[in-house]
Structure 1
Amino acid sequence: MAGRTGAPWEAGEPDPARGLRLVPGDGYPDWEAVYRDNVGWVYGLMFGKVGNRADAEDLTAEVFTTALKPLRVSADVREVRAYLRATARTVLAGHWRTRMGREITVIDDDFPDTGPEPPPDGRAAERARAVLANLPDRYRRILELRFLQGLSVRDAANSLGVSVANAKVLQHRALRMAAGSDEGGAR
């Protein structure tokens, strides 16, 4: 039973004689290993893009859930990471499309494969404070709760004493106003 490459069996297929599976030396033995080796950089990427823990955790879970069926465990490490990056792009685009009505699909390929991104430089933090200061109190407060304190929509709604639906509307309007007020700002 020769495979496409002429080998007795293909990587990832069971050896008919022994019931074993050939795993390439630069591959993963199982899904647990794929997850353990890649969850850190996927979470770091998502946290760097959305800026809060709750959304980053949800998006990271969605990336792995989405990749579970089509991704071959027998793929080498480089292929797995490339596929996870492509899946992260798609998941992030869906996230921004539902949150902001925009499709933002750019993810730089030069980010490190380890941990979360470092905190922003002083100029970015200063600019963020200036944008928040220009917002009405309720808009500023919802953004602080969601993105600076990392609260879920439900927790932010409880803190503000409003419904979850109202908190979502406030957040959406606040983000649109913040984006509009920062368009003329320094980049």
Structure 2
Amino acid sequence: MVRRVESERRAHTVTSSSSGRELRLVPGDSYASWEAVYRDNVTWVYGLMFGKVGNRPDAEDLTAEVFTAALKPLRITASAPEVRAYLRATARTVLAAHWKARMGREITTIEGDIRDDPPEEFHDSGAETRAKEVLAELPDRYRRILELRFLQGLSVREAAQSLGVTVANAKVLQHRALRMASRLNERGVR
């Protein structure tokens, strides 16, 4: 991607007033402002987050979280490659926290190259509709355990408390619910 904000990152001098301040040269590969940092990096950070979470709302929230987390410790005088490396490390941390909260596991690897432009338009594969249909066909307790675990992102322990059952019982319910949902989905596809 051609840098859209190249003009904002070019070397410039800080003007001095008659107070005797000396002029300071900012290196050409650094950013002129936080806004320039954001504009130059938001596209690839969003693309990365969307690629990891697969939906716009979470990707947008996580992108904002990356920039919010990076704002305070990131030096504006850092070079563009240093800024990208720091944002990438911050994205890894934000994703790890997201997946730990959502699924109870940390996923901290970010593979491959980062795309500079986000996916254009996202095609509805019908998966969301089919998932709703499958959930509707499940018995109440099975549907409830899956909703608690995978839609609300609760841990097994939290889901068990919400259902008023033991953790072991919640694990059994989840296993049986997933097995039944799989059978219902296969039957609906064929």
Percent of residue pairs bearing the same amino acid type: 60
Q: Distance in 2 between matches of 1:17 and 1:23?
A: 19
Cα deviation 1:85-106 (Å, max 9, x = unaligned) = 0000000100010011111111
Work out whether residues 32 and 76 of structure 2, in 8 Å CA contact, stay in contact via their aligned partners in 1: yes
Normalization by structure 2: what TM-score? 0.57
Asked whether 1:61 is paired with 2:60, we answer no
Map 1:57-136 to 2 at 5 A: 57-116=60-119, 132=131, 135-136=134-135
The one-letter code sitting in structure 1 at the alignment partner of 2:73 is: P
Structure 2: any 5+ residue segments left out of the alignment?
1-10, 139-146, 157-173, 180-190
Q: Distance in 1 between matches of 2:73 and 2:112?
A: 22
Asked whether 1:40 is paired with 2:43, we answer yes
The one-letter code sitting in structure 2 at the alignment partner of 1:136 is: L
Summarize the Cα distance change of 1:21–1:50 in structure 2 as closer, same or farther, 3 Å threshold: farther
Partner of 2:151: 171
Q: Distance in 1 between matches of 2:61 and 2:85?
A: 20
Aligned length: 138
Cα deviation 1:98-128 (Å, max 9, x = unaligned) = 01111111111412232238869xxxx69x6
The one-letter code sitting in structure 1 at the alignment partner of 2:46 is: Y
Q: Distance in 2 between matches of 1:45 and 1:136?
A: 30
Summarize the Cα distance change of 1:170–1:20 in structure 2 as closer, same or farther, 3 Å threshold: same
Question: Which one has a bigger Cα radius of gyration?
Answer: 2
The one-letter code sitting in structure 1 at the alignment partner of 2:62 is: L
Partner of 1:23: 26
Q: Distance in 2 between matches of 1:97 and 1:103?
A: 5
Work out whether residues 47 and 115 of structure 2, in 8 Å CA contact, stay in contact via their aligned partners in 1: no
